[in-house]
A and B are shown apart, each in its own frame.
Chain A
Amino acid sequence: MTELRFIRAYKPLQIERAKFKQPLSLIISIIFHLGILLLALIGLPYMGKKIIDSPHVVVEIMPIAKDNNLDAKKVEVAKPQTKEAPKAAPTAAASSLKLEEPKPRAAEEKLLPLKAKEEKKQEQLQSRKKPEEKKKETQKLEAKKILDKKKIDDYESLLKSLNDSSEKKNDSENKSKNYSKINDYDQNRALSITTENAIKRQLYGCWSPLSGAKNAKEMAVVVRIKFARDGSVIEAGHVDRGIFIGNQFYSAAVAAALRAVWKCSPLQIPQDDYEKWKEIEFNFDPSSIIY
């Protein structure tokens, strides 16, 4: 009976002690929580790496076809890469064949028929390798052609010079002019690039500017040409811009430009956009090839 009293008496004490302990732990817990919060608020932004905001690059993928008028970029020779993969396969096969060979050699009885087998295998190997090599050779030739063409296109001047250190400045200036053209998508240009290039290439072969004339560099001639459906010239006229009036060199340059157009007639032009090329204004400008 007395033990019960003790327990009863003990219990309220415990509760009192608990009551006394609660506020202290609570306070400590609150303080720690607040501390972490503060740390997070102030410290986190400085702890992590900064994310740089990159400028947005808009990429528009367009197939180079007849209908657009973006200048086609010069195709780089990427072909050899695709050919490397299949090449790896035959070499693996070759090595496996080689492994087979030493074994049969040991057996004397099997020599003769085996030799035939070996030869057959070697022939197969060679025939497989031949088309490979051929393909590689043609690739090399193509690559060379593209490079050679590049060389001719970059340094083509009508005035011959024995020294190389002459006026390459003009060349680089003109190069930059051409590249800026490539990047502009001009909606007003009626002709497609393939048609324009086809016409240009033909006229390049027909036009012989009078390169030694005085001030030849400045004598750009504009002519307006009317074409028939088969590409032949119906009408060719000089667009007089009122410059070099009475200058005999200029009249000779005009005659040369008109002759170039007549000489090239009929031009090979794709028929479908006849409406776009039935009348063209040509600007025969020798400034980039004479210096």
Chain B
Amino acid sequence: MKRILVISTFILLSAVQSLAVARIDITKGSVDPVSIAINEFSGKNPNSKAIAEEVTELVETDLESSGLFKLVPREAFIEVIGDPDQVPEFSSWRQIKAEIVLIGHISTQPGGKLSVEFRAWDSFNGKEVVGKSYVADGKSWRKVAHKIADDVYMAVTGEEGYFNTKVAYIAESGSAKKRVKRIAIMDADGYNSRYLSSGKNLVLTPRISPDATKILYLSYISRKPHVHLLDVNSGVDRVLGSFAGMTYSPKFSRDSRSVVLSVASNGNSEIYNVNLGSGAKTRLTSGPWIDTSPDFSPDSNKIVFASDRGGVSQLYIMNKDGSNQERITFGDGSYNTPAWSPRGDFIAFTKLVGGSFHIGVIRPDGSGERLIARGYLVEGPTWAPNGRIIMFTKAERSQGKQAGKSRLYSIDLSGYNEREIHTDTDASDPSWSPLLK
């Protein structure tokens, strides 16, 4: 009996020993992008092949420009696949360290339509990450390519993409003293730009609506600035609300139904809410100081704005009815033009400190302030619909008659990957649309 007890305790002890698996904490990593191998999209006939080549190149450009992907050069491919239904030989892709493999095929259909199929695989885990097909108008191949890039982006990062979006901005030209400014709208990558105003009047700060059908902008007519509402498709343009004073810095609510803006009269500036349907105006702030630059939170329950009631312009948050106004920034310098991320976790702003302009982000509770861009003049941040990328204006000093260069730049929330957006003319005041359908 005793022997059995002794033996059984030994067995139990040894069993316990083998169950104790070593545990290691990995608390550090690197900022390496995910390596992706994009096979040239295949096409049956010369026409579809030509489009396939363009689509492949655009998908490559989009994914690489996000800073989260690194392209594996095609010369290194051991296997080349043109059929999205073919399962890749994962070991040969692992050998060239390609974590994601993308395969696509384009065929033209009668009526000038395109049919695009694609599949992306995770070669290390041996699984499919995304596979879809699209049918589109032959002329919209850029849109399809952007959608494919968005799908791959989302499958790998878990985040919604931002490539199939539009940006409204001010196109600038002319000398420093006679600057011509026009409202323009373009694809987020800088292509397909078109003008929406003539340039006769001075226009500023265009704001695109969440459904991308309307643009709010500031226009100086007879030297007084007023907020205008422009319908992109019909071209109908009207002054928003009848306010006695000047109106400026407008922003749409997330449901596109109301607009929040600043109204200035007698040196005092307050924030108002205007219902687009009924035209009803509600005053949200009051006090002998400047309250301006309001922006809604993603759920439209709160509004962030800039106010100099504390002496210098700082950021405040209040409920959508104007109650419970709380200050969230307490740093040196002045904070302006807040923009609430569509993801809700950060607020971007322009900060002037130490004689330099900066673009920064801060959490709505006031913590985690980070400055991510600096320049002679950097301002006016706008968020990509996934709350990951910020676009802003970067301008240089004017040299006498020649106006300083003004361009749009984008930067990742993490502070990395600052890039210039290709525009035909000088550009400023960007406003990013949500993901288009």
Contact = CB atoms under 8 A, between A and B. Distances in A.
A207 B22 contact: no
A262 B24 contact: no
B434 interface: no
B390 to A, nearest CB: 11
A54 interface: no
A284 to B, nearest CB: 5
Interface in A212-266: 212-215, 224, 247-253, 255-256, 258-260, 262-263
Contact of A286 (B29, B125, B358): B29
Interface residues of A, number: 57
Interface stretch (B143-151, B200-208, B273-281, B369-377): B369-377
B29 A207 contact: yes
B31 interface: yes
Interface in B85-112: 94, 97, 99
A281 interface: yes
B32 A208 contact: yes
Interface stretch (A106-114, A124-132, A136-144, A184-192): A184-192
Interface string B388-407: 10000000000000000000
Contacts of A262: 94, 124-125
Contact of B21 (A203, A256, A279): A279
Contacts of B159: 210, 212-214, 248-249, 252
Contacts of A210: 157-159
Interface in A140-192: 156, 158-163, 166-167, 188-191
A285 B26 CA distance: 6
B223 interface: no
Interface string B174-192: 0000000000000000000
Contact of B158 (A199, A251, A286): A251
A259 B25 contact: no
A283 interface: yes
A218 B368 CA distance: 15
B71 interface: no
B22 A281 contact: yes
Contacts of A247: 158
Interface residue tally of chain B, by bracket?
35 or more
B231 interface: no
A288 interface: yes
A189 B367 CA distance: 37
Given A162-B358, A208-B33, A280-B23, A252 B28 contact: no
A158 B25 contact: no
Contacts of B34: 208, 256, 259
Contacts of A208: 29-34
Interface string B211-236: 00000000000000000000000000
Q: Quick one: which of B22, B99, B367, B413 has the most chain A CB within 10 A? A: B22
Nearest to A224: B21
Contacts of A204: 26, 28-30
B343 interface: yes
Interface string B356-372: 00101000000111111
25 contacts: A156-B28, A161-B372, A162-B370, A163-B360, A163-B369, A163-B371, A166-B368, A196-B24, A204-B28, A204-B29, A207-B26, A207-B28, A208-B32, A210-B158, A211-B414, A212-B388, A212-B412, A213-B158, A214-B345, A248-B154, A263-B99, A281-B24, A283-B23, A285-B26, A289-B27
Given A158-B414, A196-B22, 13 more contacts: A159-B370, A162-B374, A163-B360, A208-B32, A212-B159, A212-B413, A212-B414, A252-B156, A258-B124, A259-B34, A279-B22, A281-B22, A281-B23
Interface of A: 156, 158-163, 166-167, 188-191, 196, 199-200, 203-205, 207-215, 224, 247-253, 255-256, 258-260, 262-263, 276-277, 279-289, 291
